Amino acid sequence: MKRAVFPGSFDPITLGHVDIINRALPLFNEIIIAIGTNSSKKYMFSLAQRISFIKKTYAGTKKIKVTSYQGLTIDFCKKNKIDFILRGLRNPADFEFEKAIAHTNRKLSKIETVFLLTSANTSYISSSIVRDILRHQGDVSMLVPKAVK
């Protein structure tokens, strides 16, 4: 069985994340959306809210599981017998950053990273942009799934 983890903070999940997940569904038997937690990071949404957003977005999608974890993604993968890490790429800066992590993860664990390019219509979306708009009471309805609104 091909299992992949899609790790991130998902603070909040965006239509860019949804694009990557939806296009990855035919590639894997199961995708675990894993929300990494970092006690030194300040989140806009609680862990419970972020889990709820994702569960509501993928309600009824049997191939999707949602969980949280602490520590290294590769340790989470080893513990849960996951062979692939799924990552989305929006731009060349993402590629360079993610490439270094993927090489390190493969060196440390033999876990492969699968990259999908975001669709052109979502490539500009990031959680940090969404949070900034929300802080200023702006409308994010075109950037996030309905569960976040």
Q: Which residues are catalytic?
A: 17, 41, 90, 127
User: Per DSSP, which regions of the chain are E strands?
Assistant: 3-8, 30-36, 64-69, 84-89, 112-117
In DSSP terms, which residues pair with 30 in a beta bridge? 3
User: Per DSSP, which regions of 22-136 are E strands?
Assistant: 30-36, 64-69, 84-89, 112-117
Q: How many residues does the chain have?
A: 149
- Roughly how many angstroms between the first and final C-alpha of the chain, as a whole number? 35
Please classify residue 44 by burial: count the beta carbons closer than 10 Å to its beta carbon, then call 0-12 exposed, 13-18 middle and 19+ buried. Answer: middle
